[in-house]
Structure 1
């Protein structure tokens, strides 16, 4: 089975591939249901081509899954020459109006039917096959039993289904609630995720007794009420659980699925990397490439990425899908940095030469000072060691790596390295330094925007991420962090 991962930007595309995805799906600005993801535009096609060359055999799918108005069609046709520069293997669409356009201008690209088309029966799959579709991303309401029946009826049609991530409570994600409450259409890519708002239940006892009417009010939108219907065993709206099928991959394979899709083009690089890695290892165990014991630690790491309560959705029983939850996604860790390539011997030498130069200049400055002033400076360093400028020194067995800071790290931080094939490595104090590459000096702390090199005795795999425990995280308690 193909493992298909989300990529909201070029960086996430790299980590999807590096952490084990067979294919990744991206969006093009203005034509994707995730317009708030970074998506792809301008000259990024060059970087995408470079990545495809770096990861031969990996596929690139493009979500072109909005409902097109006439103006959208016109805009797409106007930009068609630009889009043709991307190495796209397949387009994911729901609007049949763009099908002949894709077939004309992208004759080598496959057509994949979006889950938004709500295809959940064998006759519909046959019809889409007759239109030239190579794959159907099934509606999320299809059970494994129904998927098996569809595969038996149309064995030469590829079938794809979601395996992990946030699920929309609306039918196949075709939500009108966002448009109704905020004027932002989910079908044009502007979903405001109203189903995840923090609502209060408002009841008029007399009216409730007479008609059973119920309404909800969102905390930050006082005075705005939205009527809902309460059934015997469900509430018509509110937040769905996340889907998680990593424990049931054999059943998905036996049902005839060709591709397993991870949700999350708006999720973080950390999320994309660790979720992709977990499913890669689980699939490798299913195929006998590694043991279940070897895969288990990677699967356990799913608890360390942002998530809500999980469910198996509609795959086994609709009752599982009907259970709602509350609260935002939360994680025990913050991604603090991405670790790039190991510096070459020449690059390392340059950093250390900068350090020697800085050391010499500092010593010359001290030597030129009045003895009492020099004594005061050295005393100040003793009392305030964080003010001391410390040039790096050659350390046998240590390596330097490119470091792209995302959140603040200092020497009190408990760093952990995660990589495609190493679950996590806790970095011990004294075994790593953060250097300014221009001066060769040790930095006391680093955050986003600081030029930095990681100098460490740890041998780090390419694609390593640096995470730090979130001190505000409380196990079992989901915070509204906005993630």
Structure 2
């Protein structure tokens, strides 16, 4: 089975490929249902083309899944030459009006039907096949039984299904709440996630909801047969049920989350990669287990199995914030070579000697005062790295503030978690070789450690939560 992962920007695309996705889906500015994701624009197509060359055989899908107004079609056509710069293997569309346009301008790209089209029956799949689609991303309301029936009826159509991520309480994600309450249409990519807000249950003749920041504005609750569906749904997780999806006829498994973090993209992709490899006999269940276990350490709401086994699980709602056991600290960009290491060590020696000369050049009274201050505040004493053949130097990209003395963990595509104790590493200023007390988001830095790490490894720390 194919694994398809989300990529909200170029960096996430790189990690989706590196951590095991067979294909990744991205959005383009103004034409994607995740407009708040970074999406892709300007000259990023050059980097995307390089990534496709770096990972031969990996596919790239374009999520062109908004509901198009006339002006949207005109805007798309006006930028058609730019879109042709991307190495797209397929377009994911829901709007039938875009079919001929895609077929005309991208004759070598496949057509995938978006889940937004809520296709959940065999006759609809046949119709889309006849229109030129080769794959249907089934509506999330389709059960395992229905998937099997569709595959039996239309065996030549590829079926893609969601296996992990946030679920929308509305039918196939066709929600009107955000547009009604906040003027931001979910079907144009501007969903404000109104279903996650804080509501009170009130009764004045009939039951209604009152949103915390909209006092006096009531939203009636309507009950269906045997259920009352309210707002925020569970997150989908099918990692322990992939065999059932395979038997039902699913060809491709999709992870939701173009707006999620790089950490989420990598860890969830890696977990499903190992689960699929175990299912298909490439690795053992024991080898896959630690990677699958790590999946539960990402941010998520309570997990469920959606509609695959019936409506009961899908109709259970949850509340509260998503939390994770870990925070992402940063990423390893690359391991420095011998010449780069030597340059850093020389600069550290030079800067240390310059600091000593500066102290020697002070007036005796000034030096005495300075030394007294350093005695009272030893944290002010500058320290510089020295050559150590047992340690490696890595270019490090911090994602969040991390203080020295914190235990780190390194993750890579084939290493579940490698602990890096505080006494085995330090952060370093790449300009001076000075040892740093802490690093901060996007501040250039180095990691000097005895741990042997892969390029692209993710560094994480245990989350420190208030309360």
TM-score bracket for the superposition, by shorter chain length: over 0.9
Query: Which 5+ residue runs of structure 1 have no aligned equivalent?
Result: 208-212, 475-483
1:137 equivalent in alignment to 2:137: yes
Deviation at 1:144, TM superposition (A): 0.8
- 1:479 maps to none
- 2:400 maps to 407
- 2:28 maps to 28
Map 1:51-450; keep pairs closer than 5 Å. 51-204=51-204, 207=205, 213-231=206-224, 233-450=226-443
Whole-Å Cα distance in 2 between the matches of residues 429 and 370 of structure 1? 38
- Render the CA deviation track for 1:100-143: whole Å, top value 9, x for unaligned: 11111111100000001111111111111111101000011111
TM-score for the superposition, normalised by structure 1 = 0.94
The DSSP-based 3-state class of the residue aligned with 2:282 is coil
Query: Does the Cα contact within 8 Å between 1:234 and 1:323 map onto a contact in 2?
Result: no
Whole-Å Cα distance in 2 between the matches of residues 38 and 450 of structure 1? 21
Deviation at 1:412, TM superposition (A): 3.3
Whole-Å Cα distance in 2 between the matches of residues 271 and 280 of structure 1? 14
Deviation at 1:381, TM superposition (A): 2.5
The DSSP-based 3-state class of the residue aligned with 1:111 is strand
Deviation at 1:232, TM superposition (A): 5.8
Q: 1:136 to 1:399 in 2, by over 3 A?
A: same
Whole-Å Cα distance in 2 between the matches of residues 233 and 465 of structure 1? 46
Whole-Å Cα distance in 1 between the matches of residues 461 and 184 of structure 2? 36
Off by >4 Å, runs of 4+ in structure 1: none
Deviation at 1:449, TM superposition (A): 3.5
Whole-Å Cα distance in 1 between the matches of residues 109 and 378 of structure 2? 61
- 1:477 maps to none
The DSSP-based 3-state class of the residue aligned with 2:296 is helix
Deviation at 1:248, TM superposition (A): 0.5
Deviation at 1:194, TM superposition (A): 1.1
Greater mean alpha carbon deviation, residues 174-183 or residues 277-286: 174-183
Query: Does the Cα contact within 8 Å between 1:337 and 1:403 map onto a contact in 2?
Result: yes
- Render the CA deviation track for 1:338-365: whole Å, top value 9, x for unaligned: 1111112111111111101101101211
Whole-Å Cα distance in 2 between the matches of residues 222 and 467 of structure 1? 41
Query: Does the Cα contact within 8 Å between 1:214 and 1:230 map onto a contact in 2?
Result: no
Whole-Å Cα distance in 2 between the matches of residues 386 and 5 of structure 1? 45
- Render the CA deviation track for 1:302-346: whole Å, top value 9, x for unaligned: 121010011111111111111111112221211121111111211
Query: Does the Cα contact within 8 Å between 1:27 and 1:34 map onto a contact in 2?
Result: yes
Greater mean alpha carbon deviation, residues 350-359 or residues 361-370: 361-370
The DSSP-based 3-state class of the residue aligned with 1:15 is helix
Greater mean alpha carbon deviation, residues 378-387 or residues 445-454: 378-387
- 2:458 maps to 465
The DSSP-based 3-state class of the residue aligned with 1:246 is coil
Alignment coverage as a number of residue pairs: 467
Whole-Å Cα distance in 2 between the matches of residues 287 and 449 of structure 1? 40
Whole-Å Cα distance in 2 between the matches of residues 111 and 164 of structure 1? 23
